[in-house]
Amino acid sequence: MDERSLIEGMARGDRAAFREFVEQYKKKVFFLALDMVGNAVDAEDISQEVFLKVFRSFATFRKDAKLGSWLYRVTYNASIDHLRRKQFVPEPVGDEVLESRSRDDNASLPHGGAADPAAAVESSQLQVRIARALDKVSPQEKAVFLLRHYDDLMLKDIAATLGLSIGSVKSYLFRAVRKLQKELGGSPLISGVEASHD
Amino acid sequence: MISCRIAKDRMIEALYGELGPSDKERFDGHLRSCPDCASEYSVLGATLRVMDQRERPDPGPAFWDGFWDRLSRRKVWEEAGEAPRTSLGARLVRALSGLPRWSYQAAGAAALLFVGILIGSRLIAPPAPVPTAAVSAPSGAIVQAENFAERSKILLLGLVNYDAATEDAYAFDLGRKKTMSRELAAEAPAIRGALNERGQKRLRDLVSDLEVIMMQIANLGSGQDVEGVELIKQGVDRRGIFLKIDLDRMGRDARGETKKKKT
């Protein structure tokens, strides 16, 4: 079902169209919420709220707007509301967690298998460092970064989705990338580039 | 030739390939003549390449397959006017999952200390002439709550000890567990409401915690929903549910409030 048929079906209150809409967008909504709040239980709760809100208030949707952008906006707002309600303070991932994850990864490796334990530990440590770096970015900066980097939205589309000017989107994104660079400074990939410019 | 200020302003667009051909040419020209901007550009580019390696944990096919069913069920609940109960559960989950790890440890330590002091004061202090009525059988609400907690505990033990990789899914019988959870979740509001006396807050909170978990179990998807079960196991573990049930029982044992099973 294309987007126009979906919109028309939902405007009529067609349950099949709503289901199709949920199936098409559930992963985008869930992952944006998960990236914003960092907890799968809350992310599913937010995703359900978003879809129910869309279902209830579809009449307010401007038919000439992009369905995906509107949905991102509703998800972003729901995630921000959630963080505000919770007065969310991200818990920093400590070195002991990092070490224990490395140990867990080592333990789960097949004995004598082809997997490279050193590479697995390195990869696991990198994931922890990335998560920790993202925690240092403000929710607004994070949302702009996630939409650009992982959902591949153009800057102007992010501006339209979040109701910001393009200048603000660029500014948020620049600050996000600078913060990430600062946090990931010790990563071999980045420190190699830094060293080559010293 | 553009200035460093303009180059910085266009850096993000350049990194994400959103500069038009002529702007890109001017930007590249500036980088060739400005080592500072060239350095910043390559370091930020390297940062984005590191971020490309980020892995997002996928909850798995069982989670996605059950997504529509869980959403439909919530819609039915809300339309039936049961939204406040769901919201309370969601609020509780949010409130509990937002607490820092040290708060659980501190709360656990404080609870243990409290129980220790209670037991100690009973053992060490001289027995006061307590009227029989003061240590009388617990109120009906407490008995109900105790019974509710014990039945929930049995159900949860079956759930957390289940290993999908090694055990028979048929014997696990998630369908029956969901039915029992639904019944327990339906009982919870009345029990919570009856625990309205001072000193019953902890028990009331425990019932609320269990109510949330029972609703989550009742809300699991069709089939075995292994991912959903895993999420619930993590929630039980994170909230220290078994510890709370045991602490509550120890506390009431110490105060002589538990049911007299053998008389």
pLDDT of B90-131, one tens digit each?
A: 555 445 544 455 555 666 666 677 666 666 665 555 544 444
A-B contacts at Cβ under 8 angstroms: 111
Q: Is B105 on the interface with A (CB under 8 A)?
A: no
- Answer whether A52 sits within 8 Å of B75, measured CB to CB: yes
- Closest residue in chain A to residue B56, using alpha carbons only: A31
Q: Is B260 on the interface with A (CB under 8 A)?
A: no
Helices (H), B66-198: 67-79, 83-98, 101-124, 140-160, 169-172, 174-194
Q: Is A15 on the interface with B (CB under 8 A)?
A: no
- Contacting residues of B for A197, CB less than 8 Å apart: 35, 38-39, 42-43
Which residue type does B20 have?
G
Distance from CA of A170 to the nearest CA of B (A): 7
Most confident residue range from B125-139, B141-155, B171-185, B234-248: B141-155
pTM strictly above 0.90: no
pLDDT of residue B213: 84
Structure tokens at B46: 């390297």
Distance from CA of A174 to the nearest CA of B (A): 6
Instruction: Report the alpha-carbon distance of residue B263 to residue B260 in Å, rounded.
Output: 6
pLDDT of residue A106: 42
Which residue type does B118 have?
L
Query: pLDDT higher for B179 or A182?
Result: A182
Instruction: Report the alpha-carbon distance of residue A134 to residue A163 in Å, rounded.
Output: 23
Count of C-beta atoms within a 10 Å radius of residue B192: 22
Q: Is B75 on the interface with A (CB under 8 A)?
A: yes
pLDDT of residue A48: 94
pLDDT of residue B102: 52
pLDDT of residue B134: 37
Average pLDDT of the segment spanning B10-31: 95
pLDDT of residue A90: 46
Distance from CA of A45 to the nearest CA of B (A): 7
Q: Is A178 on the interface with B (CB under 8 A)?
A: yes
Instruction: Report the alpha-carbon distance of residue A142 to residue A162 in Å, rounded.
Output: 12
- Closest residue in chain A to residue B235, using alpha carbons only: A41
- Closest residue in chain B to residue A184, using alpha carbons only: B47
Q: Is B18 on the interface with A (CB under 8 A)?
A: yes
CB B23 within 8 A of CB B52: no
Structure tokens at A193: 């580039």
Per-residue pLDDT band at B40 (split at 50, 70, 90): very high
Complex confidence, ipTM = 0.77
B138-156 per-position pLDDT tens digit: 567 788 888 888 888 888 8
Q: Is A128 on the interface with B (CB under 8 A)?
A: no
- Answer whether A19 sits within 8 Å of B68, measured CB to CB: yes
Domains delineated in chain A: 3-86 (1.10.1740.10), 96-197 (1.10.10.10)
- Answer whether B47 sits within 8 Å of A41, measured CB to CB: no
- Closest residue in chain B to residue A194, using alpha carbons only: B43
- Contacting residues of A for B67, CB less than 8 Å apart: 22, 26, 30, 44, 47
Which residues of chain A from 148 to 167 reach within 8 Å of chain B, CB to CB?
148-150, 154-155
- Answer whether A91 sits within 8 Å of B97, measured CB to CB: no
pLDDT of residue A93: 40
- Answer whether B44 sits within 8 Å of A35, measured CB to CB: no
Residues of chain A with pLDDT under 50: 89-114
- Closest residue in chain B to residue A150, using alpha carbons only: B52
Per-residue pLDDT band at B237 (split at 50, 70, 90): confident
Dihedral sign computed on CA atoms, order B178, B181, B187, B188: negative
Residue B262 reports pLDDT greater than 70? no
Query: pLDDT higher for B251 or B39?
Result: B39
pLDDT of residue B149: 87
- Answer whether A197 sits within 8 Å of B78, measured CB to CB: no
Query: pLDDT higher for B109 or B263?
Result: B109
pLDDT of residue A144: 96
Which residues of chain A from 92 to 121 reach within 8 Å of chain B, CB to CB?
none
pLDDT of residue A79: 93
B185-206 per-position pLDDT tens digit: 888 877 877 777 767 777 888 8
Compare CB distances from A190 to B43, B67, B100 and report the shortest one's residue: B43
Q: Is A55 on the interface with B (CB under 8 A)?
A: yes
Count of C-beta atoms within a 10 Å radius of residue A112: 6
Q: Which residue has the tokens 């993000």?
A: B12
pLDDT of residue B257: 57
CA neighbor of B237 nearest in space, from B260, B219, B213, B217:
B213
Q: Is B93 on the interface with A (CB under 8 A)?
A: yes
Residue B43 reports pLDDT greater than 80? yes
A87-115 per-position pLDDT tens digit: 654 444 444 444 444 444 444 333 444 45
Instruction: Report the alpha-carbon distance of residue A127 to residue A134 in Å, rounded.
Output: 11
Which residue type does B47 have?
T
Instruction: Report the alpha-carbon distance of residue B23 to residue A142 in Å, rounded.
Output: 27
Most confident residue range from B47-61, B67-81, B186-200, B230-244: B47-61
Compare CB distances from B13 to A87, A149, A155 and report the shortest one's residue: A155
Domain ranges within chain B, ordered by starting residue: 4-52, 61-127+135-255
Q: Is A22 on the interface with B (CB under 8 A)?
A: yes
CB < 8 Å & 24+ apart, contacts of A98-104: A98/A125, A98/A128, A98/A129, A101/A125, A101/A128
